[in-house]
Amino acid sequence: MNPLLICTGLTMRFGGLTALDNLYLEAREGEVLGLVGPNGSGKTTLFNVLTGIYRPSAGKITFAGENITSGTPQEIHRRGIARTFQRSRLCLDLSVFDNIMIGNHTALRLDFFHNILRRRAFCRDYELWRDKAAEMLRALNPSLVSRMFRPVGDLSMIDRRRVENSRALVRRPRHPRLHDPSAGMTHDETRQLMDEITASRMGGDRLTVILIEHEMEVIRRSTSHCVVLNFGRKLCEGDYAGVVADPRVQEAYLGKELE
């Protein structure tokens, strides 16, 4: 399998703090890459650098053979990279449908003529997307369909995560990144959600996913390959069993035994 995404020598400094330090990372087409590491190890920074929110201090990011190192978030999204956020950044006062359509922004017709003057054509266009969103939601949680025009703020945590994942997946990106999809949910809910995500992966498209997750059980079940970060550097990589058995990883999480 070819690497879809390659980072070489990726470095991100904030003043005196080096959040990412000369990092090499590759994600192969179609795999689910688990990104783990203790708090402050640079996982979130890596996501923000990869999606163009931060501009890296040094290094290079290649996606599908193209250099995307200094792209804006908009340019990077256009290439098919979508993400969710650690603390789900949904627009709570907007409806479920609105939030999903924000993820669909680049597929929408945005000219004044279409939106303001040709209302009949707009309504047909709208109904098409409404049905599509309903179909997506039905696959996740049928009860969400009837709440499609309610504010997201009214939903439970798991449903919010579902909406957020739908927002990231609605444009059928080649490379979604999921950040802490289980945060704020019970174990059962997490398992259910991950099953849903894997199901949407199996549905024809071979999505390449990078998953940040603190719940090790989720990592074990969902990922084919893991990368462990610590202090902005790659500590080790491999399959789940290999990684958890690695004494360096145990040391990073639990600290060194006193001599």
Q: Which is nearer to another protein, 64 or 102 (CB)?
A: 102
Smallest distance from another protein to CB 87, Å = 11
Name 36's bridge partners. 228
Smallest distance from another protein to CB 2, Å = 25
What dihedral do alpha carbons 49, 221, 196, 181 form, nearest 10°? -40
Q: Which is nearer to another protein, 81 or 218 (CB)?
A: 81
Smallest distance from another protein to CB 20, Å = 19
Rounded (to 5) percent helix, strand, coil in the chain? 45, 25, 35
Q: Are 199 and 171 in contact (CB under 8 A)?
A: no
Q: Which is nearer to another protein, 97 or 240 (CB)?
A: 97
Helix (H, G, I), strand (E, B) or coil at 71: coil
* Structure tokens, 52: 């163009």
Q: How many CB atoms lie within 10 A of CB 257?
A: 7
Query: CA-CA distance, 127 to 108, in Å (whole number)?
Result: 13
Smallest distance from another protein to CB 242, Å = 33
Q: Are 233 and 22 in contact (CB under 8 A)?
A: yes
Residues that bind another protein (CB under 8 A): 51-53, 72-74, 77-78, 82-83, 85, 89-95, 98, 101-103, 105-106, 108-110, 112, 115-116, 119, 122-123, 126, 130, 148-151, 167, 171
Q: Which is nearer to another protein, 102 or 157 (CB)?
A: 102
* Structure tokens, 81: 């990279």
Q: Which is nearer to another protein, 36 or 96 (CB)?
A: 96
Q: Which is nearer to another protein, 94 or 216 (CB)?
A: 94
Angle at 238 between CA 237 and CA 241, to 5 degrees: 120
Smallest distance from another protein to CB 33, Å = 19
Smallest distance from another protein to CB 85, Å = 7
